[in-house]
Amino acid sequence: MNRKVVTFFILFGLWCVFSGMFDAFHLALGVISCLIITLISGDLFFNSEKITKSHIINGLRFIKYLPWLIYQIIIANIHVAYLVLHPKMPIEPFVLEYKAKLKKDISKVVFANSIILTPGTITMDITKDNVFLVHCISRKVADDLLTGEMEKRVANVFGEHIKMGKK
């Protein structure tokens, strides 16, 4: 399917949810404004010209990835809460350089966002040669990241095949 068609339907679905009014007048307004937006900026939403099956599969895989991510976020928060409330505040911050093997832009974005959301780590920068500068708050969380499980999951979501070696 053409990407403009798909963009139009996504926009129109959003319009219906946000307006909440289903009489002919409001729906017509929605169709008109969605058409204008699709004509002007229909090429922003998707990268490739045609929407194929693999896009849908990627989307479904991403939804499958979310529960694991939410679980990680909860662990992250409990860990940070523990560090914050501990009287001695047992943190040992340092900066880690993590060499990622992800290729696509979208998977790098998802990976960087996931790093920020999970235990005690923040992506500070991504350099040109794919090195993630990660600020870690304690030694334990860095070890969790270095096992590479998250990278493997993100790579799976976007259909990249990477070989995970021991670091």
Partner 1 sequence: MIDFDLIIDTVVIIIVIIGLFFFFTATIGLLRFPDFYCKLQATGKGDTLGAILILFGIVIYILKEDFSFNTILVSLKIFFIIFFIFLANPTATHALTKAGLDSGVTPFKKEDLKK
> Which residues, in sequence order, are CB contacts of 95 under 8 Å at separation 6+?
124, 133, 134, 135, 136
At closest approach, how far in Å is the CB of 60 from partner 1? 16
105 binds partner 1 (CB under 8 A): no
User: Is the CB of 36 or the CB of 95 nearer to partner 1?
Assistant: 95
User: Is the CB of 2 or the CB of 97 nearer to partner 1?
Assistant: 97
At closest approach, how far in Å is the CB of 47 from partner 1? 18
User: Is the CB of 31 or the CB of 75 nearer to partner 1?
Assistant: 75
Binding residues for partner 1 (CB under 8 A): 17-18, 20, 73-74, 76-77, 80-81, 83-85, 89, 91-95, 112-113, 116-117, 120, 122-125, 133, 135, 137
